[in-house]
A and B are shown apart, each in its own frame.
Chain A
Amino acid sequence: MKKVMMGNHALSFGGMLGRAQVIAAYPITPQTQVVELLSEMCADKTLDATFIKVESEHSAMAASIGASLAGARTFTATSAQGLALMHELLHWASGGRNPVVMGNINRAMAPGWSIWSDQNDSLSQRDTGWIQFYCSNNQEVLDTVIQAFKVSEKLMIPSMVILDAFTLSHTYEVVDLPDQKKVDEFLPPFRPEIKLTPDDPHAFGGLTSPEHYFELRYKLQKDMEKAPALIEKTGKEYEKMFGRYLGQVEEYRCDDADFIFITSGTVGSTARVAIDELREEGVKVGNLRIKVFRPFPFEKVRNIIKKAKKVAVVDRNISYGHHGIFYQEVKSAMFGHHNSLPIFGFIAGLGGRDVTPSTFREILGHVQKKDKSEEEIIWIGVKK
Protein backbone atom coordinates (compact mmCIF):
# COMPACT_ATOMS: atom_id res chain seq x y z
CA MET A 1 0.00 0.00 0.00
CA LYS A 2 1.33 3.41 -0.95
CA LYS A 3 1.00 6.36 1.38
CA VAL A 4 2.27 9.92 1.36
CA MET A 5 4.13 10.53 4.61
CA MET A 6 6.85 12.54 6.30
CA GLY A 7 10.23 10.97 7.09
CA ASN A 8 9.38 10.88 10.78
CA HIS A 9 6.28 8.79 10.10
CA ALA A 10 8.35 6.47 7.89
CA LEU A 11 10.35 5.73 11.06
CA SER A 12 7.13 5.10 13.02
CA PHE A 13 5.75 2.76 10.35
CA GLY A 14 9.11 0.96 10.28
CA GLY A 15 8.77 0.37 14.02
CA MET A 16 5.17 -0.74 13.58
CA LEU A 17 5.84 -3.15 10.71
CA GLY A 18 8.88 -4.46 12.58
CA ARG A 19 6.45 -5.21 15.43
CA ALA A 20 8.36 -3.32 18.12
CA GLN A 21 7.13 -4.54 21.50
CA VAL A 22 8.41 -1.72 23.70
CA ILE A 23 8.83 1.94 22.81
CA ALA A 24 10.39 4.26 25.39
CA ALA A 25 10.87 7.79 24.17
CA TYR A 26 11.03 11.46 25.03
CA PRO A 27 9.95 14.08 22.49
CA ILE A 28 12.35 16.57 20.90
CA THR A 29 12.10 18.70 17.77
CA PRO A 30 12.46 17.51 14.98
CA GLN A 31 11.80 13.93 16.15
CA THR A 32 8.46 14.42 17.93
CA GLN A 33 6.11 13.02 15.25
CA VAL A 34 8.00 9.69 15.28
CA VAL A 35 6.94 8.84 18.82
CA GLU A 36 3.67 10.80 18.63
CA LEU A 37 2.40 8.44 15.92
CA LEU A 38 3.78 5.38 17.71
CA SER A 39 2.01 6.41 20.93
CA GLU A 40 -1.25 6.70 18.96
CA MET A 41 -0.65 3.27 17.43
CA CYS A 42 -0.11 1.84 20.92
CA ALA A 43 -3.25 3.57 22.21
CA ASP A 44 -5.54 2.35 19.42
CA LYS A 45 -3.94 -1.13 19.42
CA THR A 46 -2.70 -0.90 15.82
CA LEU A 47 0.56 -1.85 17.44
CA ASP A 48 0.69 -4.36 20.28
CA ALA A 49 3.44 -2.62 22.22
CA THR A 50 4.05 -1.01 25.58
CA PHE A 51 4.73 2.71 25.33
CA ILE A 52 6.85 3.95 28.24
CA LYS A 53 6.71 7.67 28.97
CA VAL A 54 9.97 8.81 30.52
CA GLU A 55 11.37 12.03 31.94
CA SER A 56 14.45 12.35 29.73
CA GLU A 57 16.36 10.77 26.88
CA HIS A 58 18.78 9.27 29.39
CA SER A 59 15.81 7.41 30.88
CA ALA A 60 14.42 6.59 27.43
CA MET A 61 17.56 4.67 26.57
CA ALA A 62 17.78 3.13 30.05
CA ALA A 63 14.22 1.82 29.71
CA SER A 64 14.96 0.59 26.19
CA ILE A 65 17.98 -1.34 27.43
CA GLY A 66 15.92 -2.99 30.19
CA ALA A 67 13.18 -3.96 27.75
CA SER A 68 15.64 -5.32 25.22
CA LEU A 69 17.46 -7.25 27.92
CA ALA A 70 14.16 -8.84 28.92
CA GLY A 71 13.78 -10.07 25.34
CA ALA A 72 11.48 -7.42 23.83
CA ARG A 73 12.05 -5.88 20.41
CA THR A 74 12.64 -2.25 21.35
CA PHE A 75 12.42 0.97 19.36
CA THR A 76 13.04 4.59 20.26
CA ALA A 77 13.95 7.84 18.55
CA THR A 78 15.69 11.08 19.41
CA SER A 79 17.73 13.96 18.04
CA ALA A 80 20.76 16.15 18.80
CA GLN A 81 20.70 17.30 22.45
CA GLY A 82 18.60 14.26 23.34
CA LEU A 83 21.12 11.92 21.73
CA ALA A 84 23.93 13.67 23.58
CA LEU A 85 22.09 13.18 26.88
CA MET A 86 21.82 9.47 26.04
CA HIS A 87 25.56 9.18 25.48
CA GLU A 88 26.37 7.14 28.58
CA LEU A 89 23.51 4.74 27.90
CA LEU A 90 24.56 4.28 24.28
CA HIS A 91 27.66 2.55 25.64
CA TRP A 92 25.47 0.48 27.97
CA ALA A 93 23.29 -0.68 25.06
CA SER A 94 26.17 -1.77 22.83
CA GLY A 95 28.43 -3.03 25.62
CA GLY A 96 25.51 -4.95 27.11
CA ARG A 97 24.71 -6.31 23.63
CA ASN A 98 21.11 -5.06 23.61
CA PRO A 99 19.88 -4.75 20.01
CA VAL A 100 17.75 -1.62 20.41
CA VAL A 101 16.88 0.14 17.15
CA MET A 102 16.73 3.93 17.37
CA GLY A 103 15.82 6.64 14.91
CA ASN A 104 17.95 9.77 15.13
CA ILE A 105 17.10 12.95 13.33
CA ASN A 106 20.31 14.80 12.46
CA ARG A 107 20.07 18.20 14.08
CA ALA A 108 22.91 20.63 14.74
CA MET A 109 24.22 20.80 18.31
CA ALA A 110 23.70 23.93 20.41
CA PRO A 111 24.83 26.60 20.97
CA GLY A 112 23.66 28.56 18.94
CA TRP A 113 20.40 26.84 19.51
CA SER A 114 19.46 25.16 16.26
CA ILE A 115 16.81 22.74 15.10
CA TRP A 116 18.21 22.41 11.59
CA SER A 117 20.24 19.64 10.06
CA ASP A 118 23.84 18.65 10.40
CA GLN A 119 25.53 15.41 11.39
CA ASN A 120 27.62 16.36 14.39
CA ASP A 121 25.08 14.88 16.82
CA SER A 122 25.25 11.31 15.52
CA LEU A 123 28.91 11.45 14.50
CA SER A 124 29.80 12.46 18.07
CA GLN A 125 28.48 8.98 18.97
CA ARG A 126 30.78 7.29 16.46
CA ASP A 127 32.73 5.25 19.00
CA THR A 128 29.82 4.04 21.13
CA GLY A 129 29.60 0.69 19.31
CA TRP A 130 26.33 1.34 17.46
CA ILE A 131 25.71 0.50 13.82
CA GLN A 132 24.85 3.75 11.98
CA PHE A 133 22.67 3.92 8.86
CA TYR A 134 22.31 7.32 7.10
CA CYS A 135 19.20 7.50 4.90
CA SER A 136 18.40 9.71 1.92
CA ASN A 137 14.66 9.25 1.36
CA ASN A 138 11.56 8.25 3.30
CA GLN A 139 11.19 4.85 1.67
CA GLU A 140 14.75 4.03 2.62
CA VAL A 141 14.03 5.11 6.20
CA LEU A 142 11.14 2.67 6.55
CA ASP A 143 12.97 -0.20 4.84
CA THR A 144 16.11 0.39 6.89
CA VAL A 145 14.29 0.20 10.23
CA ILE A 146 13.03 -3.28 9.31
CA GLN A 147 16.48 -4.33 8.11
CA ALA A 148 18.12 -2.81 11.20
CA PHE A 149 16.04 -4.99 13.54
CA LYS A 150 17.22 -8.05 11.64
CA VAL A 151 20.90 -7.08 11.56
CA SER A 152 20.94 -5.88 15.17
CA GLU A 153 19.24 -8.94 16.60
CA LYS A 154 21.50 -11.31 14.69
CA LEU A 155 24.65 -9.56 15.95
CA MET A 156 23.23 -8.36 19.30
CA ILE A 157 24.47 -4.85 18.49
CA PRO A 158 22.16 -1.79 18.53
CA SER A 159 21.47 0.30 15.42
CA MET A 160 20.78 3.95 14.72
CA VAL A 161 18.70 4.86 11.65
CA ILE A 162 19.56 8.45 10.83
CA LEU A 163 17.80 11.07 8.72
CA ASP A 164 18.26 14.80 8.18
CA ALA A 165 16.15 17.31 10.07
CA PHE A 166 13.37 18.82 7.92
CA THR A 167 14.91 17.95 4.53
CA LEU A 168 13.75 14.43 5.36
CA SER A 169 12.07 14.38 8.76
CA HIS A 170 9.31 16.82 7.73
CA THR A 171 9.32 16.26 3.97
CA TYR A 172 6.42 14.29 2.54
CA GLU A 173 7.14 11.57 -0.01
CA VAL A 174 5.37 8.51 -1.36
CA VAL A 175 6.27 5.46 0.70
CA ASP A 176 5.34 1.92 -0.20
CA LEU A 177 4.28 0.14 3.00
CA PRO A 178 5.20 -3.52 2.71
CA ASP A 179 2.65 -6.19 3.53
CA GLN A 180 2.79 -7.13 7.23
CA LYS A 181 2.80 -10.87 6.49
CA LYS A 182 5.82 -10.52 4.23
CA VAL A 183 7.61 -8.37 6.80
CA ASP A 184 6.94 -11.06 9.43
CA GLU A 185 8.46 -13.60 7.07
CA PHE A 186 11.55 -11.42 6.60
CA LEU A 187 11.80 -10.52 10.28
CA PRO A 188 10.92 -13.35 12.67
CA PRO A 189 10.24 -12.57 16.36
CA PHE A 190 13.19 -11.61 18.56
CA ARG A 191 14.35 -14.63 20.54
CA PRO A 192 17.62 -13.84 22.31
CA GLU A 193 19.71 -16.69 23.68
CA ILE A 194 20.48 -14.81 26.88
CA LYS A 195 17.91 -12.62 28.57
CA LEU A 196 16.81 -11.23 31.90
CA THR A 197 14.41 -13.85 33.24
CA PRO A 198 13.52 -15.32 36.66
CA ASP A 199 13.96 -18.78 35.11
CA ASP A 200 17.70 -18.25 34.82
CA PRO A 201 18.61 -15.34 37.08
CA HIS A 202 21.76 -13.31 36.43
CA ALA A 203 22.91 -9.81 37.21
CA PHE A 204 23.84 -7.93 34.02
CA GLY A 205 26.46 -5.27 33.47
CA GLY A 206 28.03 -5.67 36.90
CA LEU A 207 31.62 -5.36 37.97
CA THR A 208 33.90 -6.94 35.36
CA SER A 209 37.53 -7.34 36.30
CA PRO A 210 40.46 -6.80 33.93
CA GLU A 211 40.44 -10.58 33.51
CA HIS A 212 37.32 -10.49 31.31
CA TYR A 213 36.54 -6.93 30.19
CA PHE A 214 39.09 -7.05 27.38
CA GLU A 215 37.49 -10.20 25.90
CA LEU A 216 34.02 -8.59 25.98
CA ARG A 217 35.31 -5.72 23.87
CA TYR A 218 37.15 -8.10 21.53
CA LYS A 219 33.89 -9.95 20.94
CA LEU A 220 31.96 -6.72 20.27
CA GLN A 221 34.48 -5.68 17.62
CA LYS A 222 34.56 -9.19 16.06
CA ASP A 223 30.76 -9.15 15.77
CA MET A 224 30.82 -5.59 14.41
CA GLU A 225 33.19 -6.88 11.70
CA LYS A 226 30.49 -9.36 10.64
CA ALA A 227 28.03 -6.51 9.97
CA PRO A 228 29.15 -5.52 6.43
CA ALA A 229 28.52 -9.01 5.01
CA LEU A 230 25.29 -9.34 6.99
CA ILE A 231 24.01 -5.96 5.80
CA GLU A 232 24.69 -6.97 2.18
CA LYS A 233 23.01 -10.36 2.72
CA THR A 234 19.90 -8.98 4.42
CA GLY A 235 19.80 -6.17 1.85
CA LYS A 236 19.67 -8.69 -1.00
CA GLU A 237 17.11 -10.77 0.85
CA TYR A 238 15.00 -7.63 1.28
CA GLU A 239 15.34 -6.85 -2.41
CA LYS A 240 14.11 -10.34 -3.30
CA MET A 241 11.00 -9.90 -1.18
CA PHE A 242 10.24 -6.20 -1.58
CA GLY A 243 12.13 -5.08 -4.69
CA ARG A 244 14.38 -2.58 -2.96
CA TYR A 245 18.06 -3.27 -2.27
CA LEU A 246 19.57 -2.08 1.01
CA GLY A 247 23.36 -2.07 0.97
CA GLN A 248 26.22 -0.32 2.70
CA VAL A 249 26.66 2.31 0.00
CA GLU A 250 24.76 3.73 -2.97
CA GLU A 251 26.76 4.18 -6.13
CA TYR A 252 25.50 6.61 -8.76
CA ARG A 253 27.13 6.86 -12.21
CA CYS A 254 30.56 5.99 -10.75
CA ASP A 255 31.60 3.40 -13.36
CA ASP A 256 33.29 5.75 -15.83
CA ALA A 257 33.51 8.80 -13.54
CA ASP A 258 36.63 10.98 -13.45
CA PHE A 259 35.35 12.81 -10.36
CA ILE A 260 33.49 11.12 -7.55
CA PHE A 261 31.60 12.95 -4.82
CA ILE A 262 31.33 11.16 -1.50
CA THR A 263 28.20 12.14 0.40
CA SER A 264 25.76 10.90 3.02
CA GLY A 265 22.11 11.49 3.94
CA THR A 266 19.95 13.77 1.79
CA VAL A 267 23.06 15.53 0.45
CA GLY A 268 23.48 12.28 -1.48
CA SER A 269 20.12 12.78 -3.23
CA THR A 270 21.00 16.37 -4.13
CA ALA A 271 24.28 15.08 -5.56
CA ARG A 272 22.39 12.84 -7.97
CA VAL A 273 20.52 15.85 -9.38
CA ALA A 274 23.76 17.78 -9.75
CA ILE A 275 25.43 14.82 -11.44
CA ASP A 276 22.66 14.44 -14.02
CA GLU A 277 23.02 18.13 -14.91
CA LEU A 278 26.82 17.95 -15.10
CA ARG A 279 26.74 14.77 -17.17
CA GLU A 280 24.48 16.55 -19.69
CA GLU A 281 27.30 19.08 -20.00
CA GLY A 282 29.79 16.26 -20.63
CA VAL A 283 31.52 16.18 -17.22
CA LYS A 284 32.10 12.64 -16.04
CA VAL A 285 31.00 12.76 -12.41
CA GLY A 286 29.56 10.21 -10.06
CA ASN A 287 28.37 9.98 -6.48
CA LEU A 288 29.10 7.48 -3.76
CA ARG A 289 26.64 7.85 -0.92
CA ILE A 290 27.89 6.19 2.24
CA LYS A 291 24.85 4.73 3.91
CA VAL A 292 26.46 2.65 6.63
CA PHE A 293 29.01 4.73 8.53
CA ARG A 294 29.65 2.19 11.30
CA PRO A 295 31.01 -0.30 10.57
CA PHE A 296 32.80 1.67 7.87
CA PRO A 297 32.43 0.04 4.42
CA PHE A 298 36.18 -0.03 3.66
CA GLU A 299 36.05 -2.56 0.81
CA LYS A 300 33.13 -0.92 -0.98
CA VAL A 301 34.64 2.55 -0.75
CA ARG A 302 38.07 1.39 -1.96
CA ASN A 303 36.73 -0.58 -4.89
CA ILE A 304 34.43 2.15 -6.13
CA ILE A 305 36.65 5.23 -5.85
CA LYS A 306 40.02 3.72 -6.82
CA LYS A 307 39.19 4.12 -10.54
CA ALA A 308 38.45 7.83 -10.25
CA LYS A 309 40.96 10.60 -11.02
CA LYS A 310 39.84 12.77 -8.09
CA VAL A 311 37.51 12.38 -5.14
CA ALA A 312 35.60 15.10 -3.24
CA VAL A 313 34.22 14.26 0.19
CA VAL A 314 31.33 16.50 1.23
CA ASP A 315 30.89 16.69 4.99
CA ARG A 316 27.89 18.19 6.77
CA ASN A 317 29.89 17.88 9.99
CA ILE A 318 33.29 18.71 11.39
CA SER A 319 35.72 17.34 13.93
CA TYR A 320 37.14 20.57 15.37
CA GLY A 321 40.90 20.57 15.16
CA HIS A 322 40.82 17.82 12.55
CA HIS A 323 38.75 17.70 9.34
CA GLY A 324 35.38 16.67 8.02
CA ILE A 325 34.63 13.30 9.60
CA PHE A 326 33.76 11.35 6.44
CA TYR A 327 36.89 12.88 4.86
CA GLN A 328 39.07 11.44 7.64
CA GLU A 329 37.43 8.07 7.26
CA VAL A 330 37.77 7.93 3.48
CA LYS A 331 41.44 8.93 3.67
CA SER A 332 42.09 6.24 6.26
CA ALA A 333 40.35 3.67 4.04
CA MET A 334 42.60 4.56 1.09
CA PHE A 335 45.88 4.90 3.01
CA GLY A 336 48.23 2.06 2.16
CA HIS A 337 45.97 1.00 -0.70
CA HIS A 338 45.77 3.92 -3.13
CA ASN A 339 48.01 6.61 -1.69
CA SER A 340 48.23 8.66 -4.88
CA LEU A 341 44.48 9.24 -5.31
CA PRO A 342 43.79 12.96 -4.73
CA ILE A 343 41.04 13.29 -2.11
CA PHE A 344 39.58 16.74 -1.36
CA GLY A 345 37.64 17.58 1.81
CA PHE A 346 34.70 20.01 1.80
CA ILE A 347 32.53 21.28 4.62
CA ALA A 348 29.05 22.40 3.64
CA GLY A 349 25.58 22.85 5.10
CA LEU A 350 26.37 23.12 8.81
CA GLY A 351 23.38 24.08 10.95
CA GLY A 352 20.93 23.51 8.12
CA ARG A 353 22.52 25.84 5.54
CA ASP A 354 21.11 24.66 2.20
CA VAL A 355 23.12 22.24 0.10
CA THR A 356 21.87 22.55 -3.49
CA PRO A 357 23.03 21.30 -6.91
CA SER A 358 24.98 24.57 -7.27
CA THR A 359 26.96 23.59 -4.15
CA PHE A 360 28.26 20.64 -6.15
CA ARG A 361 29.17 22.87 -9.09
CA GLU A 362 31.23 25.00 -6.73
CA ILE A 363 32.92 21.91 -5.29
CA LEU A 364 33.67 20.59 -8.75
CA GLY A 365 35.21 23.96 -9.64
CA HIS A 366 37.68 23.62 -6.75
CA VAL A 367 38.53 20.03 -7.66
CA GLN A 368 39.10 20.81 -11.35
CA LYS A 369 41.44 23.71 -10.55
CA LYS A 370 43.98 21.73 -8.49
CA ASP A 371 45.95 18.52 -9.05
CA LYS A 372 45.80 17.64 -5.42
CA SER A 373 44.26 18.95 -2.26
CA GLU A 374 46.35 21.75 -0.77
CA GLU A 375 44.10 22.67 2.13
CA GLU A 376 42.66 20.04 4.41
CA ILE A 377 39.32 21.82 4.63
CA ILE A 378 37.62 23.73 1.87
CA TRP A 379 34.59 25.63 3.20
CA ILE A 380 31.67 25.97 0.83
CA GLY A 381 29.26 28.83 1.37
CA VAL A 382 30.85 30.63 4.33
CA LYS A 383 30.03 34.34 4.09
CA LYS A 384 33.50 35.89 3.96
Chain B
Amino acid sequence: MKKRKEAKKIVFKSEKEVPLMPMSVGSFLFNKTGVWRNIRPVIDPTNCIQCGICWKFCPDVAIYIEDEFPMIDYEYCKGCGLCAEECPSKCIVMVEEEK
Protein backbone atom coordinates (compact mmCIF):
# COMPACT_ATOMS: atom_id res chain seq x y z
CA MET B 1 0.00 0.00 0.00
CA LYS B 2 1.22 3.47 -0.90
CA LYS B 3 2.38 5.50 2.04
CA ARG B 4 -0.09 8.30 2.73
CA LYS B 5 1.05 11.82 3.26
CA GLU B 6 0.89 12.99 6.82
CA ALA B 7 -1.92 15.47 7.30
CA LYS B 8 -2.99 17.77 10.06
CA LYS B 9 -6.44 19.17 10.54
CA ILE B 10 -6.89 22.39 8.57
CA VAL B 11 -8.46 25.29 10.42
CA PHE B 12 -8.82 28.53 8.47
CA LYS B 13 -8.05 31.60 10.51
CA SER B 14 -10.16 34.04 8.51
CA GLU B 15 -13.21 33.91 6.25
CA LYS B 16 -10.95 35.12 3.41
CA GLU B 17 -9.11 31.79 3.46
CA VAL B 18 -12.31 29.74 3.42
CA PRO B 19 -13.13 28.62 -0.15
CA LEU B 20 -16.24 30.17 -1.70
CA MET B 21 -17.84 26.76 -2.13
CA PRO B 22 -18.09 24.12 0.57
CA MET B 23 -15.44 21.72 -0.70
CA SER B 24 -13.01 19.16 0.61
CA VAL B 25 -9.65 20.42 1.72
CA GLY B 26 -8.11 17.04 2.46
CA SER B 27 -10.05 16.43 5.64
CA PHE B 28 -10.13 12.65 5.09
CA LEU B 29 -6.39 12.47 5.41
CA PHE B 30 -6.79 13.04 9.13
CA ASN B 31 -10.39 11.96 9.62
CA LYS B 32 -9.75 8.21 9.95
CA THR B 33 -13.23 6.71 9.79
CA GLY B 34 -11.94 3.22 10.65
CA VAL B 35 -12.43 4.05 14.33
CA TRP B 36 -16.22 3.88 13.80
CA ARG B 37 -16.02 0.12 13.16
CA ASN B 38 -17.25 -2.51 15.61
CA ILE B 39 -16.95 -5.58 13.36
CA ARG B 40 -14.03 -6.07 11.03
CA PRO B 41 -13.64 -8.03 7.78
CA VAL B 42 -10.88 -10.61 7.76
CA ILE B 43 -9.76 -12.16 4.47
CA ASP B 44 -8.56 -15.75 4.25
CA PRO B 45 -6.65 -15.74 0.95
CA THR B 46 -6.59 -19.56 0.66
CA ASN B 47 -9.85 -19.71 -1.34
CA CYS B 48 -9.61 -16.22 -2.91
CA ILE B 49 -10.20 -16.42 -6.68
CA GLN B 50 -8.91 -12.85 -7.22
CA CYS B 51 -12.18 -11.75 -8.81
CA GLY B 52 -11.91 -8.23 -7.38
CA ILE B 53 -15.60 -8.08 -6.41
CA CYS B 54 -14.83 -6.96 -2.83
CA TRP B 55 -12.56 -4.22 -4.22
CA LYS B 56 -15.26 -3.04 -6.62
CA PHE B 57 -18.10 -3.11 -4.11
CA CYS B 58 -16.42 -1.46 -1.09
CA PRO B 59 -18.38 1.79 -0.68
CA ASP B 60 -15.52 3.43 1.18
CA VAL B 61 -12.72 2.46 -1.22
CA ALA B 62 -11.12 0.75 1.76
CA ILE B 63 -10.00 -2.36 -0.13
CA TYR B 64 -6.84 -2.24 -2.19
CA ILE B 65 -5.05 -4.84 -4.28
CA GLU B 66 -1.54 -5.82 -3.30
CA ASP B 67 0.38 -8.55 -5.16
CA GLU B 68 -2.92 -9.38 -6.91
CA PHE B 69 -4.75 -10.09 -3.63
CA PRO B 70 -7.27 -7.85 -1.85
CA MET B 71 -6.23 -6.16 1.39
CA ILE B 72 -8.34 -4.17 3.86
CA ASP B 73 -7.37 -0.63 4.77
CA TYR B 74 -8.40 -0.66 8.43
CA GLU B 75 -7.79 3.07 8.83
CA TYR B 76 -10.94 3.70 6.75
CA CYS B 77 -13.00 0.47 6.73
CA LYS B 78 -16.21 1.14 8.68
CA GLY B 79 -17.06 -2.56 8.94
CA CYS B 80 -20.24 -2.53 6.85
CA GLY B 81 -19.74 -6.15 5.80
CA LEU B 82 -20.62 -5.63 2.16
CA CYS B 83 -17.40 -7.36 1.01
CA ALA B 84 -18.14 -10.43 3.14
CA GLU B 85 -21.69 -10.58 1.77
CA GLU B 86 -20.59 -10.30 -1.85
CA CYS B 87 -17.49 -12.52 -1.81
CA PRO B 88 -18.42 -15.49 -4.11
CA SER B 89 -15.93 -17.87 -2.49
CA LYS B 90 -16.89 -16.86 1.06
CA CYS B 91 -13.34 -16.11 2.14
CA ILE B 92 -14.16 -12.89 4.00
CA VAL B 93 -15.60 -13.17 7.50
CA MET B 94 -16.72 -10.45 9.88
CA VAL B 95 -15.32 -10.72 13.39
CA GLU B 96 -16.03 -8.67 16.52
CA GLU B 97 -13.60 -5.80 17.12
CA GLU B 98 -11.67 -6.26 20.30
CA LYS B 99 -11.77 -3.40 22.76
Chain A residues proximal to chain B, CB less than 8 Å: 95-97, 156, 193-194, 202-208, 211-213, 215-216, 218-219
- B55 → A minimal CB distance (Å): 20
Q: What chain B residues lie within 8 Å of A216 (beta carbons)?
A: 18, 22
A203 to B19, CA, bound (A): 13
Write out the residue numbers on chain B whose beta carbons fall within 8 Å of the beta carbon of A205: 21-23
* Residues of chain B lying within 8 A (CB to CB) of residue A203: 23-24
Contact B27 A207 (CB under 8 A): yes
Q: Kindly list chain B residues whose C-beta atoms are within 8 Å of the C-beta of A96.
A: 21-22
Q: How far is the CB of B78 from chain A (nearest CB, A)?
A: 14
Would you list which residues of chain B between 11 and 50 have a CB under 8 Å from chain A? 11-12, 15, 18-25, 27
The answer to whether B20 touches A215 (Cβ under 8 A) is: no
Residue from B20, B23, B25 within 8 A of A219 (CB atoms):
B20
A97 touches B20 (CB 8 A): yes
Given contacts A95-B22, A212-B18, A216-B18, 13 further A-B contacts (CB under 8 A): A97-B21, A156-B21, A194-B19, A202-B25, A205-B23, A206-B24, A206-B27, A208-B22, A212-B22, A213-B22, A215-B18, A216-B22, A219-B20
B22-A204 in contact (CB<8A): yes
What band does the interface of chain B fall in when counting residues whose beta carbon is under 8 Å from A?
A: 10 to 19
Residues of B contacting A207 in the complex (Cβ-Cβ under 8 angstroms): 27
With CB as the reference atom, state the residue of chain B lying closest to A216: B22
Specify which chain A residues have a CB less than 8 angstroms from the CB of B23 in the assembled complex: 194, 202-206
In the assembled complex, 18 residue pairs joining A and B whose CB atoms fall closer than 8 Å, in A order, are A97-B20, A156-B20, A193-B20, A194-B19, A202-B25, A203-B24, A204-B21, A205-B22, A205-B23, A206-B23, A206-B27, A208-B22, A211-B11, A212-B12, A213-B22, A215-B18, A216-B18, A218-B15
Note all chain A residues with C-beta closer than 8 A to B19: 194
Instruction: Give every chain B residue within 8 A of A213 (Cβ-Cβ).
Output: 22
Cα(A203)–Cα(B12), bound, Å: 18
